[in-house]
């Protein structure tokens, strides 16, 4: 029957070549059954778009391929290759080795990925990244653009905005304050309604509650400030003692509890010398600058607006003549020019009010700026004596002249 066509036959003998040709009723279309492997195997899915020759899997089925056995297995629902869980729209999923599960922190609304709740790091990085990230406040929100990194950072943030915190408990209590920046453990921790503060360093501005526009750089800088505003502190514990007060500036100085408009540079126990460039060769007019025993700079004001109990000096300057002017050189400066002045210990015995003591109570220097007024008083007193003596001399001369004239008349008689 080789080469013959058998219509509606149940059994068709093979041809000499081992093939059977079946006419499909359409001219030029053949169905060929190959039992000897003359033709190469075809792919399961031939045309994906048109599904011509494609294999369609039932919903919930899995597909696995075993290359060595060249088999294709369609399993039942479930397993690592299962469908995504119901209700997972808009979520970023993770796989636990058995199935897909939703993440508690990452969400996707189709346009971006946002963060809510607590985003936790693996144990291997917790020591450096912190146990929780963006705790409570939702990261960067166009209507509430806060950024918080660290355990408890911004934990209580509600209506605040434009705040940035890096560090455990940084800006933890901010509720209505805006524009704050805190970097460091517990930096600006207690800020509530505070605005425009910058704190960099562990516990910097930690107790500030409603103080605005403070700047603190350094560990514990302005830590005790609660309500003061416009303060600037630079250095470890700079401005630490300030609790209330405005517009102060501290550079390496701990400050005091309450003051305003004060500039403090350095610590007396640490800094013992001060060099200021641009001063030596500058010529200016004005008053002399004085330094108090506590290191405060100022000028001696002379206006009556600042004085009380004004009296003539009288004999208060008389003891000046008991002072011993000396020449000297400072210890360790043997090559310096000869100096002129007084010895503070000697002056203290005569005029103690002219001696400035150091913080320990030891005589340190003489208030030389007081001497001109006292010398002027002594000069005026001397002038009055001279005038009196001149008058007495003139009177004596007149008396002598009269006596001489009388003696002359007597001698002529």
Q: What is the pLDDT of residues 210-261, one digit of tens each?
A: 999 999 999 999 999 999 999 999 999 999 999 999 999 999 999 999 999 9
My answer on whether 197 and 128 are in the same domain is yes
pLDDT in tens, the chain (413 residues): 455 555 544 455 666 666 666 555 655 555 555 555 555 554 444 444 554 455 655 555 566 666 655 565 555 544 444 566 666 666 666 666 677 776 654 555 555 555 555 455 454 443 333 444 444 444 444 566 788 899 989 888 777 788 999 999 999 998 888 999 999 999 999 999 999 999 999 999 999 999 999 999 999 999 999 999 999 999 999 999 999 999 999 999 999 999 999 999 999 888 888 898 888 888 888 888 888 888 889 988 899 999 999 999 999 999 999 999 999 999 999 899 999 999 999 999 999 999 999 888 999 999 999 999 999 999 999 999 999 999 999 999 999 999 998 888 888 87
Rg value, the chain, Cα: 50
My answer on whether 205 and 152 are in the same domain is yes
Quote the pLDDT of residue 63: 61
Domain that holds residue 391: 288-294+312-413
Q: Is 362 within the bounds of a domain?
A: yes
My answer on whether 130 and 268 are in the same domain is yes
Q: Is 16 within the bounds of a domain?
A: yes
Q: Which of 11, 26, 46 is the last residue of a domain?
A: 46
* CATH number for position 395: 1.10.10
Q: Is 306 within the bounds of a domain?
A: no
Q: Is 267 within the bounds of a domain?
A: yes
My answer on whether 182 and 244 are in the same domain is yes
Task: For residues 302 and 117, give the distance between their C-alpha atoms in angstroms, rounded to a whole number.
Answer: 67
My answer on whether 348 and 244 are in the same domain is no
Tokens at 155, concatenated: 């934990």
Q: Is 243 within the bounds of a domain?
A: yes
My answer on whether 145 and 240 are in the same domain is yes
- Per the CB < 8 A criterion, the answer to whether 120 and 131 are in contact is yes
Quote the pLDDT of residue 47: 45
Q: Is 303 within the bounds of a domain?
A: no
Q: Is 54 within the bounds of a domain?
A: no
My answer on whether 117 and 258 are in the same domain is yes
My answer on whether 263 and 317 are in the same domain is no
Look at the alpha carbons of 373, 378, 380, 381 in this order and tell me if their dihedral is positive or negative. positive
Angle ∠(307,311,315) on CA atoms, nearest 5: 130
My answer on whether 319 and 262 are in the same domain is no
Task: For residues 198 and 193, give the distance between their C-alpha atoms in angstroms, rounded to a whole number.
Answer: 14
My answer on whether 107 and 208 are in the same domain is yes
My answer on whether 198 and 143 are in the same domain is yes
My answer on whether 123 and 205 are in the same domain is yes
Domain count, the chain: 3
Q: Is 22 within the bounds of a domain?
A: yes
């Amino acid at each position: 029957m080789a080469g013959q066509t058998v219509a509606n036959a149940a059994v068709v003998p093979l041809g000499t070549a081992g093939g059977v040709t079946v006419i499909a009723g359409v001219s030029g279309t053949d169905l060929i059954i190959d039992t000897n492997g003359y033709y190469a195997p075809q792919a399961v899915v031939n045309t994906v778009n048109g599904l011509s020759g494609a294999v369609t899997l039932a919903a919930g089925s899995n597909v696995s391929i075993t290359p060595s056995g060249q088999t294709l297995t369609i399993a039942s629902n479930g397993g690592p290759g299962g469908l995504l869980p119901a209700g997972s729209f808009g979520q970023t999923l993770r796989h636990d080795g058995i199935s897909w599960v939703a993440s508690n922190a990452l969400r996707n609304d189709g346009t971006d990925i946002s963060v809510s709740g607590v985003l936790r790091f693996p144990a291997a990085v917790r020591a450096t990244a912190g146990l929780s990230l963006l705790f409570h406040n939702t990261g960067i929100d166009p209507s509430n653009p806060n950024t918080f990194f660290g355990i408890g950072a911004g934990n209580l943030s509600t209506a605040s905005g434009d705040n940035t915190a890096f560090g455990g408990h940084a800006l933890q209590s901010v509720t209505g304050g805006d524009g704050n920046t805190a970097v460091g453990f517990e930096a600006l921790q207690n800020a509530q309604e505070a605005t425009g503060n910058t704190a960099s360093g562990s516990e910097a501005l930690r107790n500030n509650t409603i103080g605005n526009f403070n700047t603190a750089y350094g560990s514990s800088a302005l830590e005790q400030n609660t309500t003061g505003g416009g303060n600037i502190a630079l250095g470890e514990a700079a401005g630490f003692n300030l609790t209330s007060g405005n517009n102060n500036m501290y550079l390496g100085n701990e400050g005091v509890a309450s003051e305003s408009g004060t500039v403090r540079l350095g610590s007396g126990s640490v800094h013992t010398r001060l060099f200021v460039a641009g001063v030596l060769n500058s010529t200016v007019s004005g008053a002399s600058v004085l330094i108090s025993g506590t290191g405060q700079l100022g000028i001696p004001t002379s206006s009556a607006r600042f004085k009380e109990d004004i009296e003539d000096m009288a004999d208060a300057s008389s003891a000046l003549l008991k002072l011993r002017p000396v020449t000297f050189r400072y210890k360790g400066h043997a090559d310096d020019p000869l100096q002129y002045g007084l010895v503070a210990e000697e002056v203290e015995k005569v005029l103690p009010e002219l001696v400035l003591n150091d913080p320990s109570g030891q005589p340190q220097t003489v208030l030389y700026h007081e001497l001109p007024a006292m010398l002027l008083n002594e000069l005026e007193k001397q002038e009055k004596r001279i005038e009196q003596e001149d008058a007495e001399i003139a009177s004596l001369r007149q008396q002598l002249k009269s006596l001489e004239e009388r003696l002359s008349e007597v001698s002529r008689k």
